[in-house]
A and B are shown apart, each in its own frame.
Chain A
Amino acid sequence: MKRKDLLGLHGVSREEITEILDAALTMRQVLRSGNKKTAHLQGKSIVTLFYENSTRTRMSFELASKYMSAAAANIAASASSVSKGETLIDTGVTLDQMGTDVIIIRHPMSGAPALLARHVRASVINAGDGMNEHPTQALLDMLTMREHLGALTGIKVAICGDVMHSRVARSNIYGLTAMGASVVLCAPPTLIPVHIERLGCTVAPTIEDACEGADVVMGLRIQRERQQKGLFPSVAEYCDNWEITPQRVALAKKDALVMHPGPMNRGVEIASSVADSAQSVIAQQVESGVAVRMALLYMLTRKEVQA
């Protein structure tokens, strides 16, 4: 891997994504073995720098680091410290001086990982920035899809929910289209960003259209505050029109996958009966997440050794 950082999947090639997913397959074997310990990151120092609450993603990175024998530390910076505390650049320089090899950052503002990466020697992995990107989530989604569907080329992925505020949606659009999949979005018009189709996806008029013949139906979290901000009138009306229900999933291909990055709002963007169905791979996405993050950490730090 030639890059210093992974800030997003925008502009990342099919070959590079394939390389990461292939490496993640190996890592998954490690995870599934009885002895979850390798020496891949021995002598390396990994820090998670999270300016937003997260359990799933932070734990996933932390365990990935520990399974590979890295020294791992976590910084839980509060959201208020973004504007009141030490500047992001100063924090980054400090971590650099402590010998950190990889900084994994989550931040409520788009572009923050790019700012950090420009000012530190350490590799930076974007674990979610504002509404921009969440590349490791898209990678783990693709790893999960590949396991069940084989190749990603030519598959149809329907993404339904709060596309506007979703970094998961953007990373999946970039990654999946690079891999030759087609992406169809569906959401209330107030939650579809302008000109999103120029990223290479399409916007379906109804969720039924989106699900029709899909290989994957992916839900995105609908935060209650979006309703309070006036982006749609009520949860009930949202569900009428956009909830992923068994009837809608039935329009997709037989055995289509049901996915969700979590945490789910059951009964809002996705019905429990769908989330818990045999088609759901939501739990397996979590396992894929650890594998993908192990692969990425290894690839980014190995590059440094060669240099």
Chain B
Amino acid sequence: MNLLIRGGRVIDPCSGVDAVLDVLVQDGKVARIGERLDAEGVTVLHAAGKVVAPGFIDMHCHLRDPGQEYKEDLISGTRAAARGGFTAVCCMPNTHPVNDNAAVTRYIIEKAQTQGSGVHVYPVGAVSKGREGREMAEIGRMKQAGIVAVSDDGRPVTHANLLRLAMQYADHFGVFIMSHSEDVDLVGDGVMHEGFISTQLGLPGITRAAEEVMIARDILVAEAEGKRIHLCHVSTRGGVQLVREAKARGVRVTAETAPHYIAATDEWVLGYDSNCRVNPPLREEADRQACIAGLMDGTLDAIATDHAPHHQDEKRVEFHLAKSGISGFETAFCVSHTALVRAGHMTLGGLIEKMSTAPARLLGVPGGTLSVGAPADIVVLDPDREVTVDASRFISRGHNTPFDGKTYFGAVCATIVGGRIIDQA
């Protein structure tokens, strides 16, 4: 199927293009980029006044399938991802059963391909069987079935030696570890960030050290082994600094943060809104600023949503009882764009790099560029359009978001995968 995306501002951080151009898509690939391309015999998508960019790639989400389809499944999840401008997503293995073997990996890939919206789904396998942190999962077989990384996300790899062995073993198969860096002992019974707000609300707090102790450990193990480590959802000032220092001395560490850590703080918890319960917790303004600075100077490589849909029954309860997580696909762009680009911290090209080009590079998957010959995985954006978040209209089954009712700048107009328009607002 051929498609001409006419007259948009094409931004491709990978090739350095930033100009008003036409993009011709043929056979699912970017065929030509240029001025006033011939539109004869092709479908035309008018993009004047819009931005045309490589589709977003989410390194970190939860699609809940198999096992918790009441929260989300591969159909609703990939549709929601498309609405958010994502053309590829990596789903974490904390499903039921856990994605710790090739059969589950194959189930996810096949269901996504046959019933999903068209968004590429790259499963992340578990580091350990059952995510129990004892025996290594069959990383080789899962890799053969299609995983791109391993993680026990939702839980840390508590035992440092298992982490060390998994690093060595996974590397053999070209797989890297995505670490949920959290010291469970330090978290204790905490339900929000420990600070003045937790004191005021009388909610048990989680010290920053719970995250930073494990980030430090993960970095040191990776450094000693000379292997790769990717740190998930970095949220603290100290965590950003640890990554910065490690990168400076050559450790093979990469890191992501999430839109909510650059747009919201623990003050949002005032009033006990359970939609603000997330792990790691919303931190303080200084941490928010540090995450932004980390994105700006390259310490933090990518923005990942940590899309974590939950049923409303799991949120309409006491704060202590509420599940942790934010349904993030459909707000990722507008929230990040407002907090980073509109606020003057980075260019739109810089944001596209964090949401598309960098994740493609880290994961080693196609996409993240609009260079000729690349897959036509494309997002069309209207960065200046005002959007008021309405969670009741989310495509995701999870309507859990602290951004509901708030106004941001940046709309996703169309999502194209392999040259096919899979979502158009």
Contacts and interface: CB of A to CB of B under 8 A. Distances in A.
A114 B203 CA distance: 13
Contacts of A87: 313, 316-317
Nearest to B316: A89
A111 B200 contact: no
Contact of B318 (A107, A133, A167): A107
Interface stretch (B190-198, B209-217, B358-366): B190-198
A267 interface: no
Interface stretch (A68-76, A189-197, A288-296): A189-197
A126 B271 CA distance: 15
A88 B317 contact: yes
A88 B198 contact: no
Given A88-B318, A112-B318, A195-B195, A131 B272 contact: no
A253 interface: no
A36 interface: no
| Max count, chain A CB within 10 A of own CB: residue among B199, B202, B205 | B202
Contact of A167 (B195, B196, B202): B202
B321 A109 contact: yes
B176 interface: no
A201 to B, nearest CB: 11
B266 to A, nearest CB: 12
A194 B196 contact: yes
Interface string B174-209: 000000000000000000001110111111110000
Contact of A194 (B198, B201, B203): B198
B261 interface: no
Interface in A123-139: 129-133
Contacts, number: 65
Contact of A82 (B198, B200, B316, B321): B321
B129 interface: no
B319 to A, nearest CB: 5
Interface residues of A, number: 26
A202 interface: no
A112 B203 CA distance: 11
Contacts of A199: 199-200
Contact of A131 (B194, B195, B204, B313): B204
Contact of A114 (B194, B199, B204, B271): B271
Contacts of B271: 114
A91 to B, nearest CB: 12
A194 B318 contact: no
A109 B201 contact: no
Given A110-B203, A170-B202, 9 more contacts: A89-B317, A109-B318, A110-B201, A111-B272, A111-B319, A115-B317, A193-B198, A195-B196, A196-B199
Interface of A: 10, 82-83, 87-89, 107, 109-112, 114-115, 129-133, 167, 170, 193-196, 198-199
Shortest 6 CB-CB distances between A and B: which pairs? A132-B202, A111-B272, A131-B202, A195-B196, A110-B202, A193-B199
Interface of B: 194-196, 198-205, 271-272, 313, 316-321
22 contacts: A82-B321, A83-B321, A87-B313, A88-B318, A89-B316, A109-B318, A110-B202, A110-B203, A111-B201, A111-B203, A115-B317, A115-B318, A115-B319, A130-B202, A132-B202, A132-B203, A133-B202, A193-B205, A194-B194, A195-B199, A199-B199, A199-B200
